[in-house]
Structure 1
Amino acid sequence: MENQRSSSSLKAVIAVLAVLLVGSLIYIFKMTSDADVVKTELKTTLTEKESVMKDLQELKSTYDAAISENTSMSDELIQERDKVVNLMSDLSKSKGDVASLSKYRTQFNALQGNMKVLMAENEGLKKQNTTLTTQRDSTVVVLGETKKNVEALTGQNEELSKAVEIGSKLTVLNTRGSAFKMKSSGKQIETDKASRADVLRVSFTIPENPIAKSGEKMYYVQVIDSKNNVLGDKKTESFGENILTYSFTTVVQYDNKTVQVTQDLKGKDFAKGTYYINIFDRDILVSKTSFVLR
């Protein structure tokens, strides 16, 4: 009888030990799996952080190269390059969690969009300078070879200058951005305080051009706040390889006479700082300006 009790006790101990062993194995497996997940997530965030940093370094290199050319846009390029450098500094200090990396990627995309706009304008200025230099050199040669016809050439050059000045393309002038407070009576009062503004107004002028093509003309208007956010519709339009994100479009009925264009962009909780307005004819930047809300 005593042996039988001992045998039963031994079996009970073995059963308890077996249960503990199975529980330990399950716990070890779960801890191992959780550790693998953490390692995978950590590796992914580190890879994304390196990717964003690499993209920012390439963006900075692009600006450095453009700034070294010492064009009339150098100050604007330096300002944008400094934004990239500051973002790189913030990124290097960040812990690299998923939420912050998403924020840095969004800010990079905005900076990259600004870079494309500025690079396009910078390239346009370089081409214009090259064209003007070529025209100047050609004019010097012609004048040197035709000294006897100076008076005739002077008249021809004046006519040519007038024809080039008039041109066949429409130009956009006097671009202006401002903010207004809408009263309950419907009256609008201009303001420079972000807390009071509930309407941003964009206005520009298309001057008279007797040889331009008349008809409907559509412009894409891009309003960017001090946090590099495109305001308004935030729609995108593709022009070949170029993609433009814009705030709104405005259609102008042009009949070769001067046209004043004004359009409002409603909103709320506008941020303090500098606002940038870019006017595009398709994907070509034709005018820009900025204004500040306190």
Structure 2
Amino acid sequence: MENQKNNSSLKAIILVLALLLLGSLFYIFKLTTDTQTLETKVTAVSTEKDNILKDLQELKATYDAAIAENTSMSDELIAEREKVVQLMAQLEKAKGDANAMRKYKEQYKSLEVKMKSLMQEVEVLKGENQQLNKNLDSTKVVLQDSKNYNQVLVGQNEELTKTVEKASKLSILNLKTAAFKQRSSGKQIETDKASRADILKISFTIAENAVAKSGDKVYYVQVIDAKNNVLGDKETASFGSQTLTYSFQAKVKYENKTVNVSQDLPGKSFEKGSYFVNIFDKGELVSKTSFTLR
């Protein structure tokens, strides 16, 4: 009888120890799994942080290269590069989770959009500078050719052809943009407050040109708001390999005399900040300006 009691007690002890062992194994397994999951998340966040930093460094390098060219836009480029540098500094100190990394990624995307817009303007300026250099080179050629009468004639004919081509191009002057509040009476009151504006009035002048070709002209007007959105129709036109998204078309009957063009761009919930207005003759930028709504 005593032996049976001892055997029962021993079995009970063994059973309890077995249960404790199983419980310990389960706890160790869960702890290991949780640790691995946490390490995976931390690694993912760290990788995302490194990727964003790399993208920001490339963005900064693009600005550095553009600033080194010393264009008239250097101040604006430097200001945008400073925003990139500040975001890099914040990101390097950050120890956030995946949500924080998404916010940094969104800020990077916004800076990238702005950079692309500025680079387009830089390319326009570079093209204008290249054209000026070509003109200077042409002048030097003419002066050099003046040493020989026949060469002078050839140079003059070439220059005359270029002059006629340039002279036949229409000039866009006095590009202006203003915001207005449209009252129920129809009266328009100028304002510089985004919250009050419901109409943008864009006006410009086509200069008189006796040698230009007369007839119907179409200009593509592009208005970009403070968040880099194209306002208005948002239609797209193609010119060879180039595409252009524009706000509206300004159609003009040109008869070689000065023409004043004015057109309203209605809207609502205008953003605060800087706006950019570009006038295109087909795919060629012929005039631009900017204004600010507070």
What interval of TM-score do these two structures reach, taking the shorter chain for normalisation? 0.7 to 0.9
Amino acid at match of 1:74: S
Q: Equivalent residue for 1:111?
A: 114
Rate the CA distance shift 1:119–1:167 in 2: closer, same or farther, 3 A.
same
Q: How far apart are the structure 2 equivalents of 1:283 and 1:59?
A: 27
Q: Equivalent residue for 1:211?
A: 212
Deviation (angstroms), 1:189: 1.6
Structure showing greater radius of gyration is 2
Question: Is this contact kept in 1: 2:173–2:205, CA < 8 A?
Answer: yes
Q: Identity of aligned pairs, percent?
A: 40
Q: Equivalent residue for 1:223?
A: 224
Q: How far apart are the structure 1 equivalents of 2:197 and 2:291?
A: 13
Q: How far apart are the structure 1 equivalents of 2:84 and 2:292?
A: 21
What TM-score do you get using the length of structure 1 for normalisation?
Answer: 0.73
Q: Equivalent residue for 1:253?
A: 251
Q: How far apart are the structure 2 equivalents of 1:23 and 1:280?
A: 76
Amino acid at match of 1:44: A
Q: How many residues were matched structurally?
A: 284
Deviation (angstroms), 1:195: 3.5
Rate the CA distance shift 1:205–1:89 in 2: closer, same or farther, 3 A.
farther
SS at match of 2:254: coil
Q: How far apart are the structure 1 equivalents of 2:14 and 2:240?
A: 75
Rate the CA distance shift 1:166–1:240 in 2: closer, same or farther, 3 A.
closer
Q: Does 2:273 align with 1:267?
A: no
- Post-superposition Cα deviations, 1:160-189, rounded to whole Å, max 9, x if no partner, equal 676244234x55443333222233444332
Q: How far apart are the structure 1 equivalents of 2:28 and 2:171?
A: 72
Question: Is this contact kept in 2: 1:216–1:251, CA < 8 A?
Answer: no
Question: Is this contact kept in 1: 2:180–2:191, CA < 8 A?
Answer: yes
SS at match of 1:262: strand
1:189-200 → structure 2 map (5 Å cutoff): 189-200=189-200
SS at match of 1:128: helix
Choose from 95, 115, 121 the match for 2:124: 121
Deviation (angstroms), 1:157: 9.8
Q: How far apart are the structure 1 equivalents of 2:85 and 2:124?
A: 22
Q: How far apart are the structure 2 equivalents of 1:236 and 1:50?
A: 38
Q: How far apart are the structure 2 equivalents of 1:130 and 1:100?
A: 45
What TM-score do you get using the length of structure 2 for normalisation?
Answer: 0.73
Q: How far apart are the structure 2 equivalents of 1:127 and 1:27?
A: 73
Gaps of 5+ in 2: none
Q: How far apart are the structure 1 equivalents of 2:214 and 2:4?
A: 111
Q: Equivalent residue for 1:45?
A: 45
Amino acid at match of 1:264: L
Q: Equivalent residue for 1:167?
A: 168
Deviation (angstroms), 1:284: 4.6
Amino acid at match of 1:223: I
Deviation (angstroms), 1:124: 0.8
Gaps of 5+ in 1: none
Deviation (angstroms), 1:223: 0.9
Q: Equivalent residue for 2:92?
A: 92
Question: Is this contact kept in 1: 2:175–2:204, CA < 8 A?
Answer: yes
Question: Is this contact kept in 1: 2:182–2:189, CA < 8 A?
Answer: yes
Choose from 133, 138, 149 the match for 1:130: 133
Deviation (angstroms), 1:110: 1.4
Amino acid at match of 1:197: A
Deviation (angstroms), 1:2: 5.7
Amino acid at match of 1:179: A
Q: Does 2:69 align with 1:66?
A: no
